[in-house]
């Protein structure tokens, strides 16, 4: 018997592609000063968001984003059958504490900054597998909660390296439903392998993740027999300026022709004068770009076919101290207008 739902090595095809029926994104103040201000649903006035710690602020950010996405379809949280969610903090507490309030059956995901794609494809499998009809995929990241966990205390006077990226404060939530509605559909997804070419610099995650993105994109195109210009836009999650420059060179090396129309959420997120060095990063980077400008452009018909390749660097401060290199991963989800 031929497996109809899997094609090639790593790609899953959805028979009845789930539809993205509603989405929302809330971002931090700095992200709100960037080029996409009008495309975000809501911009936080400050990083505390009315809470007493960065972690609480992040959990509230995620919770409010899910509520906002759900309310756009006039649903209540209890109308949602499954929440697939993740974030960057230890034990993904932002997600589980948000789920505690929302009281939606909950699956936690950790894929570092690749979590948005991981959550979307898991949600889509749950729907196309016939188990659920209405699932929310959501992620969050918060600059200061990530900074204190992965790098330095926020008040310490340190100089950031030129290749370092700025963790985006932002959350994105997408409501996926069994395909009876119009709207962008999640047609197929490629689950990435971990690629580690020995990069160790925790201040340069773009370089560590670029080979994983290159591998996943190449595998996706060959699994689906699609030319690279099949997509109006291939967008990676958060390679930043350094990583996306590397990926372009890897495209050439891997023979990905014609050169795809390619961009990166980390590069797009901020203006050059915002002093973020190599661009944005974090789960919230690809999530808020997707749930803000990118899906808006799909609805407007400016983008018909989008391949989101969210990238993650799966290290921890402990493994970095122990001298381990950084394992990179990338998952691709294809979004297509009907």
Partner 1 sequence: MNTSADQIKKIEAQEYEDLVSQTKPKPTLLKNCIWAFVIGGLICTLGQVILNYFIGQGLTKLDAGSATSVVLIFLAALFTGLGWYDVLGKHAGAGSIVPITGFANAIVASAMEFKREGYVFGVGARIFTVAGPTLVFGFAVSILIGLIKVVFS
Partner 2 sequence: MSSLVTAFLVGGALCLIGQLVMDLTKPAITPGHILVGYISIGALLSGLGLYQPLVDLAGAGATVPLSGFGHTLTQGTLKAVEESGLLGAISGGVEASAAGITAAILFGYVAAVLFDPKG
Binding footprint of partner 1 on the chain (CB under 8 A): 52-53, 148, 152-163, 197-199, 204, 207, 211, 241-242, 245-246, 249, 278
Nearest distance in Å: CB 309, partner 2 = 26
- Residue of 91, 103, 154, 249 that binds partner 2 (CB under 8 A): 154
Q: Is residue 152 part of the contact set for partner 2 (CB under 8 A)?
A: yes
Q: Which of these, 298, 305, 224, 296, lies nearest to 261 by C-alpha position? A: 305
Q: In the block, which residue shows the tokens 């697939």?
A: 84
Question: Which residue lies nearer to partner 2 by CB, 207 or 219?
Answer: 207
DSSP-derived 3-state class of residue 93: helix
**Binding partner of residue 331 among partner 2, partner 1, none, CB cut-off 5 to 8 Å per kind:** none
47 makes contact, choosing from partner 1, partner 2, none, with CB < 5 to 8 Å by partner type, with partner 2
Q: If binding is defined by CB under 8 A, does position 201 make contact with partner 2?
A: yes
Shortest reach from residue 230's CB to partner 2, in Å:
38
What track of x and - describes contact with partner 2 for positions 223 through 262 (by CB under 8 A)? ----------------------------------------
Residue 165 C-beta: closest distance to partner 2, Å: 14
Phi, psi dihedrals of residue 145, rounded to the nearest 5°: -70, -35
Q: How far is the CB of 198 from partner 2 (least distance, A)?
A: 14
Among 2, 153, 225, 258, binds partner 2 (CB under 8 A): 153
Kindly tell me which of 154 and 249 has the beta carbon lying closer to partner 2. Answer: 154
Minimum Å gap between C-beta 275 and partner 1 is 9
Distance CA 193, CA 43 (A): 35
Q: What is the CA radius of gyration of the chain?
A: 18
**Among 60, 67, 134, 143, which residue sits at the site for partner 2 (rule: CB under 8 A)?**
143
Closest to partner 1 by CB, 245 or 299: 245
The two tokens of residue 303 are: 């983008």
Instruction: Identify residues 18-77 at the interface with partner 2 (CB under 8 A).
Output: 47, 54
How would you classify the pairing of strands 106-109 and 42-43? unpaired
Q: What is the DSSP string of 280-334?
A: EESHHHHHHHIIIIIHHHHHTTS-SEEEEEEEEE---HHHHHTT----EEEEEEE
Q: Give the CA distances from residue 26 to residues 39, 51, 58, 115, 171, in Å, rounded to whole numbers and listed in that order.
A: 10, 16, 11, 17, 6
Look at residues 335, 125, 311, 300 and name the one whose alpha carbon lies nearest to residue 230. Answer: 335
Distance between CA 271 and CA 47 in Å, rounded? 20
Residue 143 near which of partner 2, partner 1, none (CB within 5-8 Å, type-dependent): partner 2
Q: How far is CA 65 from CA 128, 245, 298, in A?
A: 24, 32, 20
Task: Compare residues 85 and 164 and give the one whose CB is closer to partner 2.
Answer: 164
For residue 52, the minimal CB distance to partner 1 (Å) is 7
Q: How far is CA 295 from CA 22, 265, 305, 309, 323, in A?
A: 10, 13, 11, 15, 40
């Amino acid at each position: 018997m031929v497996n109809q739902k899997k094609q090639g090595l790593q790609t899953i095809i959805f028979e009845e592609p789930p539809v993205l029926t509603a989405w929302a994104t809330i971002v931090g103040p700095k992200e709100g000063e960037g080029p996409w201000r009008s495309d975000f649903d809501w911009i936080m006035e400050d990083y505390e968001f009315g809470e007493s710690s960065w972690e609480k602020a992040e959990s509230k950010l995620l919770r409010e984003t899910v509520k906002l996405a759900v309310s756009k379809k006039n649903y209540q949280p209890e109308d949602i059958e499954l929440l697939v969610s993740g974030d960057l903090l230890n034990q993904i507490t932002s997600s589980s504490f948000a789920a505690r309030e929302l009281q939606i059956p909950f699956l936690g995901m950790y894929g570092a900054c690749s979590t948005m794609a991981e959550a979307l494809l898991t949600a889509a499998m749950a729907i196309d597998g016939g188990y659920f009809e209405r699932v929310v995929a959501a992620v969050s990241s918060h600059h200061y909660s990530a900074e204190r966990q992965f790098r330095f205390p926020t008040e310490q006077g340190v100089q950031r390296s030129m290749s370092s990226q700025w963790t985006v404060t932002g959350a994105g939530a997408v409501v996926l439903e069994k395909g009876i509605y119009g709207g962008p559909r999640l047609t197929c997804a490629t689950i990435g392998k971990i690629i580690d070419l020995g990069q160790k610099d925790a201040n340069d995650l773009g370089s560590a993740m670029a080979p994983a993105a290159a591998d996943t994109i190449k595998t996706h195109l060959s699994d689906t027999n699609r030319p690279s210009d099949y997509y109006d836009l291939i967008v990676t999650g958060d390679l930043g300026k350094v990583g996306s420059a590397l990926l372009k060179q890897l495209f050439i090396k891997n023979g990905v022709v014609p050169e795809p129309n390619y961009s990166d959420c980390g590069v797009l997120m901020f203006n050059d004068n915002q002093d973020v060095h190599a661009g944005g990063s974090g789960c919230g980077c690809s999530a808020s770009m997707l749930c803000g400008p990118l899906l808006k452009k799909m609805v407007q018909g400016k983008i018909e076919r989008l391949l989101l390749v969210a990238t993650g660097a799966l290290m921890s401060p402990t493994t970095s101290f122990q001298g381990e290199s950084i394992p990179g991963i990338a998952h691709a989800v294809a979004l297509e207008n009907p």
